[in-house]
């Protein structure tokens, strides 16, 4: 009987821009730019504090500067003329690939036995910028990969985009066991700050940040540790379509993100997980860890309520939210990378009966994406001394 083909994450890396701003500093920046009165300034500060984000990274240094020192936004009252889509896309084109290359280097440095010249496919995921020839081609050129390297761009899918990239990579290596797929998520959310006081714009401005993540997917696990891509499940909640959207406007990409999003996720998350578990022939008792996309504090809380999780179960998502904010599609890979790092270092040990990690993310649609990965570790090999001892015992017994 032919052995079924599998797909494994064998390396994960991440990168953030050098510029970072504490959340309270960003709140003051936004209040100044929106020309808030004392009452609205207090409300905005409270909103930013409620996110439980401590700092966020951006390719724009202006968020920690005073007016007169800006290099991207106009040094004028009200920041007029406000940056156009063209100006924002120029910034994306300049900054996206260098950040992605840092994530790729971080990814492949964690797997020194792999030769990057063996990469056969490059998949890019982004919802914060578009141009052609695009990042996929520039990454191939920067890495010195051959021109026949296959490539695919997955664009404008929002925070759940990494799941579609992983599904595609999984399909590729299952169809071609010799394929080595590099998946790269590149998101520069902060370049789309909107100067509007609608609640959904204020909330988006308070959550989103910049980051890039990369993973290597292969058909065989690396010798020490890997994450088997076990199963995926997707669902739509059309009744939430108006609550989360992503549109191109004259002054950047505009995110609609209302306070009703957690309510819709609350209604759908339990069914989503049950269907994924049934498809995987697993139960909740088989899940040892959770790598949830930290779309926001309230989203994490309603998932905990519906799935019966504790804050400790959800600790990796909270840590990434606190340290980086929401980096759209790259964020869930940051969560997985943190788990990976703890597994490699020995800080974390997976129970033998619970080797599975449940992940999910959400986006326009309202789309719910989910995935189960299985931690695969190499069996402990007997050392030479133990083998010699066993041989001697056998000889004299």
Exposure pattern of 340-366 as b/e (b: 16+ CB <10 Å)?
beebeeeebebeeeebbbbbbbbbbbb
Alpha helix stretches (DSSP H) within the chain: 23-33, 38-50, 85-109, 135-143, 161-175, 199-207, 261-280, 297-307, 315-324, 331-345, 384-396
Q: Is the peptide bond before 75 cis (omega within 30 degrees of 0)?
A: no
What is the chain's Cα-based Rg? 22
**What are the tokens at 15?**
């990168």
Q: Maximum CA pair distance of the chain?
A: 90
* Catalytic annotation, pick one of 107, 127, 159, 185: 159
**What are the tokens at 268?**
């759908």
Contact between 372 and 278 under an 8 Å Cβ cutoff? The reply is no
Q: What is the pLDDT of residue 148?
A: 97
- Of the candidate CATH numbers 3.40.228.10, 1.20.1730.10, 3.40.50.2300, 3.40.47.10, the domain formed by 8-218 belongs to 3.40.47.10
**Fold of the domain built from segment(s) 229-377:** Peroxisomal Thiolase; Chain A, domain 1 (3.40.47)
Q: What is the pLDDT of residue 386?
A: 34
Q: What is the pLDDT of residue 200?
A: 83
Report the relative pairing of strands 121-126 and 8-15 from DSSP bridges: unpaired
Angle at 202 between CA 257 and CA 21, to 5 degrees: 115
CB burial of residue 325 (10 Å; 0-12, 13-18, 19+) = buried
Q: What is the pLDDT of residue 380?
A: 41
Q: What is the pLDDT of residue 385?
A: 38
How confident is the prediction along the chain (397 residues), in pLDDT tens digits per residue? Answer: 345 689 999 999 999 999 999 999 999 999 988 889 999 999 999 999 999 999 999 999 999 998 899 999 999 988 899 999 999 999 999 999 999 999 999 999 999 999 999 999 999 999 999 999 999 999 999 999 999 999 999 999 999 999 999 999 999 999 999 999 999 999 999 999 988 888 888 888 999 999 999 999 999 999 999 999 999 999 999 888 888 888 898 888 988 888 889 999 999 999 999 999 999 999 999 999 999 999 999 999 999 999 999 999 999 999 999 999 999 999 999 999 999 999 999 999 887 789 999 999 999 999 999 999 999 986 544 434 333 433 333 332 2
**What are the tokens at 90?**
């120029």
- Assess whether 159 carries a catalytic annotation: yes
**What are the tokens at 166?**
């992983």
CA dihedral defined by 302, 308, 310, 314, rounded to 10 degrees?
-60
28-65 pLDDT, tens digit each: 999 988 889 999 999 999 999 999 999 999 999 999 99
Nearest CA to 243 out of 189, 306, 285, 295 is that of 295
DSSP assignment letter at 18? S
CB burial of residue 82 (10 Å; 0-12, 13-18, 19+) = middle
For helices 38-50 and 199-207, angle between their N-to-C axes, nearest 10 degrees:
50
Q: What is the pLDDT of residue 379?
A: 54
CB burial of residue 306 (10 Å; 0-12, 13-18, 19+) = middle
Exposure pattern of 7-31 as b/e (b: 16+ CB <10 Å)?
bbbbbbbbbbbebbbebebbbbbbb
List beta partners, residue 232: 371
> CATH 3.40.47.10 occupies which residues in the chain?
8-218, 229-377
CB burial of residue 235 (10 Å; 0-12, 13-18, 19+) = middle
N- to C-terminal Cα distance for the chain? 41
Query: What is the Cα–Cα distance from 149 to 161, expressed in whole angstroms?
Result: 22
Q: What is the pLDDT of residue 388?
A: 41
Q: What is the pLDDT of residue 4?
A: 63
Contact between 104 and 143 under an 8 Å Cβ cutoff? The reply is yes
Q: What is the pLDDT of residue 141?
A: 98
Report the relative pairing of strands 181-188 and 121-126 from DSSP bridges: parallel
């Amino acid at each position: 009987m032919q052995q079924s083909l599998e797909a494994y994450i064998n390396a994960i890396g991440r990168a953030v821009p050098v510029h970072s701003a504490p959340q309270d500093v960003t709140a003051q920046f936004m209040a100044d730019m929106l020309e808030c009165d004392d009452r609205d300034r207090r409300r905005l500060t409270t909103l930013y504090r409620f996110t439980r984000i401590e700092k966020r990274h951006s390719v724009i240094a202006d968020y920690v500067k005073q007016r007169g020192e800006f290099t991207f936004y106009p040094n004028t009252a009200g920041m007029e003329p406000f940056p156009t889509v063209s100006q924002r896309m120029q910034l994306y084109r300049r900054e996206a690939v260098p950040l992605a290359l840092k994530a790729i280097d971080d990814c492949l440095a964690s797997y020194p036995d792999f030769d990057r010249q063996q990469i056969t496919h490059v998949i890019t995921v982004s919802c914060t910028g578009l141009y052609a020839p695009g990042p996929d081609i520039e990454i191939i050129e920067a890495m010195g990969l051959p021109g026949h390297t296959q490539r695919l761009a997955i664009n404008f899918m929002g925070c759940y985009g990494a799941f579609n990239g992983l599904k595609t990579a999984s399909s590729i290596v299952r169809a071609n066991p010799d394929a080595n797929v590099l998946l790269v998520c590149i998101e520069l959310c902060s370049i789309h700050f909107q100067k509007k006081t609608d609640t959904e714009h204020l909330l988006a401005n308070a959550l989103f940040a910049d980051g890039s993540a990369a993973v290597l997917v292969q058909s065989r696990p690396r010798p020490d540790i890997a994450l088997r891509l076990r199963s995926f499940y997707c669902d739509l909640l059309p009744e939430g379509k108006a609550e989360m959207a992503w549109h191109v406007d004259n002054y950047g990409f505009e995110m609609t993100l209302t306070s009703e999003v957690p309510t819709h996720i609350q209604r759908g998350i339990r069914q989503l997980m049950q269907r994924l578990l049934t498809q995987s022939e697993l139960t909740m008792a088989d899940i040892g860890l959770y790598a949830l996309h930290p779309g926001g504090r309230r989203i994490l809380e309603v998932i905990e309520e519906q799935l019966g999780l504790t804050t400790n179960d959800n600790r990796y998502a909270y840590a990434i939210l606190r340290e980086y904010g929401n980096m759209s599609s790259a964020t869930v890979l940051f969560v997985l990378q943190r788990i990976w790092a703890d597994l490699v270092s020995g800080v974390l040990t997976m129970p033998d009966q619970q080797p599975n990690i449940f992940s999910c993310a959400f986006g326009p649609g309202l789309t719910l994406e989910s995935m189960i990965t299985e931690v695969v570790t190499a069996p402990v090999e007997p050392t030479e001394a133990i083998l010699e001892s066993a041989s001697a015992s056998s000889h004299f017994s």
